[in-house]
C-alpha cells in the first residue's frame, strides 16, 4: 500500500466551510490529516476538523489563530489559502470598493494566511503552501479585471516563495481551477453558462473534489516532494 503521507499532518484550509474549501477539508480528513479550517462562519463544516472563525483580511487575528491551531493540533505542515470572493463588473464600472474588497481577500488574504505559519515550517524543515488561483488569473476574463489581477498575483506569490523557502524544505504552489460547480458560479446566468460550457472540451463544469485532489497532490511530501513554484491547472482542457 502506498499513501500520500498526509496522515497526522496538521493542515490549515481557509474558506473551508463550503464550496471548494469544504471539498479540500473533506478529502484531507479522509487522508488522515489533522485539519483546521478557517472561515467567516464555521457552522456547517466537517465535524471531524477543527473549525475556527477567522477573516483572512485581518493579519493580527490570523496570527492569533495560528498560535491557537499550534496549541490545539501541533506544528502546521500545510496551508491552503482558498478563501476568495468575486465582485465582477466591466472595467469601466468597477468601483474602488470592488477593487479593495477583492484585493483584500484574494491577494492580501493569501499573504496573511501563509505568513503566520512559515517560521514554524522553517524550524521543522518541512511544509507545503498551496494557493487557489484561477483560470481568470491565467488567461484573463471579461468582467473580472479585479479578480484576475489577484489570481495572477497569487501565482507571483507562490513562485517567489518557492525560491525563498526551498532552503527550508518548504514548497509553494498554486492550483488554477477552471469553472467549478459551487455557490460562486451559481450566479452565472444560464445563457452565459451555456456559452462557457460550449468552450470547455469536457462540456461541463468541474466539481470541487477535482480541485481537492490537485491540492492533496501538492501538499503530499511523497507525491510532490520536488514540485515547487508550479501552477496546476484543473479546467477540463478549457485553457492549457
Ligand atoms: P465559495 O464562494 O463557494 O466559498 C468561498 C468561501 O470563502 C466561503 O466559505 C466564504 O465564507 C469564505 N470566505 C470569503 N471571504 C472570506 C474571508 N475574508 N475570510 C475567510 N473566509 C472567507 O467559493 P468557491 O469554493 O467557489 O471558491 C474557492 C476558491 O476557489 C476561491 O479562491 C475562488 O476564487 C477559487 N476559484 C473558484 C472557481 C469556481 O469556479 N468556483 C474557479 C476558480 C477559482 P462565507 O460562506 O462566510 O461567505
Question: SS3 helix, strand, coil % of the chain, rounded to 5?
Answer: 50, 15, 35
Q: What is the pLDDT of residue 138?
A: 93
Mutate to test the pocket of ligand 1, among 20, 143, 149, 151 (most ligand atoms within 8 A of CB): 20
Q: What is the pLDDT of residue 63?
A: 98
The pLDDT tens digits for 166-183 are 999 999 999 999 999 999
Handedness of CA 96, 98, 100, 103 (dihedral sign): negative
CA distance 14 to 17: 8
Q: For residue 178, count other CB atoms closer than 10 A to its CB.
A: 23
Residues with pLDDT less than 50, the chain: none
Mutate to test the pocket of ligand 1, among 19, 38, 200, 207 (most ligand atoms within 8 A of CB): 19
Handedness of CA 231, 232, 236, 240 (dihedral sign): positive
Q: What is the pLDDT of residue 238?
A: 98
Catalytic residues: 147
Q: What is the pLDDT of residue 55?
A: 98
Fold of 10-233: Rossmann fold (3.40.50)
Q: What is the pLDDT of residue 227?
A: 98
Amino acid at each position: 500500500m502506498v499513501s500520500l503521507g498526509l496522515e497526522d499532518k496538521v493542515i490549515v484550509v481557509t474558506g473551508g466551510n463550503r464550496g471548494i474549501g469544504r471539498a479540500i477539508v473533506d478529502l484531507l480528513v479522509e487522508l488522515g490529516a489533522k485539519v483546521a479550517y478557517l472561515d467567516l462562519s464555521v457552522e456547517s463544516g466537517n465535524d471531524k476538523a477543527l473549525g475556527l472563525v477567522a477573516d483572512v483580511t485581518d493579519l493580527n487575528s490570523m496570527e492569533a489563530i495560528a498560535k491557537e491551531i499550534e496549541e490545539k493540533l501541533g506544528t502546521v505542515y500545510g496551508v491552503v489559502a482558498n478563501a476568495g470572493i468575486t465582485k465582477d463588473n466591466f472595467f469601466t464600472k468597477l468601483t474602488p470598493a470592488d477593487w479593495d474588497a477583492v484585493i483584500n481577500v484574494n491577494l492580501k488574504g493569501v499573504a496573511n494566511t501563509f505568513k503566520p505559519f512559515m517560521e514554524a515550517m522553517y524550524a521543522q524543515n518541512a511544509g507545503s503552501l498551496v494557493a487557489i488561483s484561477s483560470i481568470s488569473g491565467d488567461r484573463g476574463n471579461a468582467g473580472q479585471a479585479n479578480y484576475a489581477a489577484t489570481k495572477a498575483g497569487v501565482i507571483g506569490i507562490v513562485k517567489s516563495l518557492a525560491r525563498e523557502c526551498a532552503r527550508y524544505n518548504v514548497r509553494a504552489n498554486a492550483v488554477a481551477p477552471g469553472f467549478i460547480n459551487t455557490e460562486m458560479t451559481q450566479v452565472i446566468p444560464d445563457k452565459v453558462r451555456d456559452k462557457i460550457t460550449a468552450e470547455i472540451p469536457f462540456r461541463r463544469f468541474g466539481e470541487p473534489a477535482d480541485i481537492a485532489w490537485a491540492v492533496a497532490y501538492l501538499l503530499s511530501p511523497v507525491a510532490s516532494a520536488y514540485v515547487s513554484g508550479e501552477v496546476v491547472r484543473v479546467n477540463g482542457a478549457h485553457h492549457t
